[in-house]
Structure 1
Amino acid sequence: MKDSKGICPFCRIVRGDDPAARLVYQDPHTAAFFPINPATLGHTLVVPRTHIPEIWDLDEESAVLLTQATLLIAHVTRRTFKPDGLNIIQSNGEAASQTVPHLHVHVVPRWKNDAMGDIWPTETIFSKDEQDRAWKILRKECQKEASI
């Protein structure tokens, strides 16, 4: 999703071009800010300052820096809001509910009976055979990557 000028809204925030942004943290590589419609009080987005559309475009060095910033926000959120729990959510692609094509990590403080509710299905319909096939395929591909 881009704004009316075709510019990524998260890039605008990172550049300081969005006066309404509620920036909570920034360093040379990452920025963290409140989303327009937070799921819970304290919900924060952590983004790389460089425009990276999805996790598949992320290099290892940037991944480490993004993870460090996410961990910092998680710890500060815990100290500040004292939630019962915390979700770290990162979505890629429309099917996964990514609405802004700029890699971002949601740090979402959670409380018992908050408005978010459960985020996992109560049951799945995959047979043991389907699960075993998926496991074998993924394991084989991971073993190929590990030997590179």
Structure 2
Amino acid sequence: MARRCIFCTIARGEEPKTTLLHEDERFVAFRDRSPAAAHHYLIIPKEHMGNPATLTNKDIPLVESLAEVGNKVLQEQGGNMEDKRLGFHWPPFNSIDHLHLHVLSPDSQMGFLSRLVYRPAFWFVTIDKLLERLQAVPGDQQPSPPSSTSQQQSETKAEGEQS
């Protein structure tokens, strides 16, 4: 774990202002300090890892596990499992260089600014899109940055189908 990384400090249980909602051998979960939704949680690996751009297809099981923990925490905390968004900020738009999954619910009730910040675009990639991208990249290669148009179009279409 990196000594100066706030998320590593939280993962070690050394940040008294942060209450852990989940802890297991690999991950911890806690509330975001600036929530964008009624339920806004961060799921982080205990081991220091860089941002999502550093992941390869060998990290697919890790990303899937992050999603499982995120869904579990959201359900345990009473979040709406049908109105949620799980994803990552893509560099340089990530605030902390330690892999962290944002879990937000209810997605449909986020304010204008929050909907912009967590909108699927080149700065925020949903968990499903990241998994697709990792599956499409061979070996140890890292995925290219998300394009705003392809992800935004598919996410907007999916949101329209939910309404």
TM-score (norm 2): 0.60
Separation of aligned partners in 2, 1:55 and 1:117: 20
> Equivalent residue for 1:68?
65
> Equivalent residue for 1:81?
79
> Equivalent residue for 1:36?
33
Q: Is the 8 A contact 1:46 1:66 kept in 2?
A: no
Residue correspondences, number: 119
* Other structure's SS at 1:21 match: coil
Worse-superposed segment, 38-47 or 50-59: 50-59
Q: Do structure 1's residue 10 and structure 2's residue 10 form an aligned pair?
A: no
* Other structure's SS at 2:39 match: coil
Structure 1 unmatched ranges of 5 or more: 122-141
Q: Is the 8 A contact 1:30 1:65 kept in 2?
A: no
TM-score (norm 1): 0.66
Structure 1 residues 27 and 61, CA gap change in structure 2 (3 angstroms): farther
The amino acid of 2:47's aligned partner reads T
> Equivalent residue for 2:19?
22
Structure 1's consecutive aligned runs of 4 or more residues displaced over 3 angstroms after TM superposition are 56-63
Separation of aligned partners in 1, 2:55 and 2:11: 17
The equivalent position to 1:110 in structure 2, one of 106, 112, 127, is: 106
1:75 offset after TM fit, Å?
4.2
Structure 1 residues 76 and 54, CA gap change in structure 2 (3 angstroms): closer
Calculate percent identity across the aligned residue pairs. Answer: 21
Structure 1 residues 74 and 47, CA gap change in structure 2 (3 angstroms): same
Q: Is the 8 A contact 2:9 2:15 kept in 1?
A: yes
> RMSD of aligned C-alpha atoms?
2.9
Separation of aligned partners in 2, 1:107 and 1:100: 16
The amino acid of 1:101's aligned partner reads D
Q: Is the 8 A contact 1:48 1:66 kept in 2?
A: no
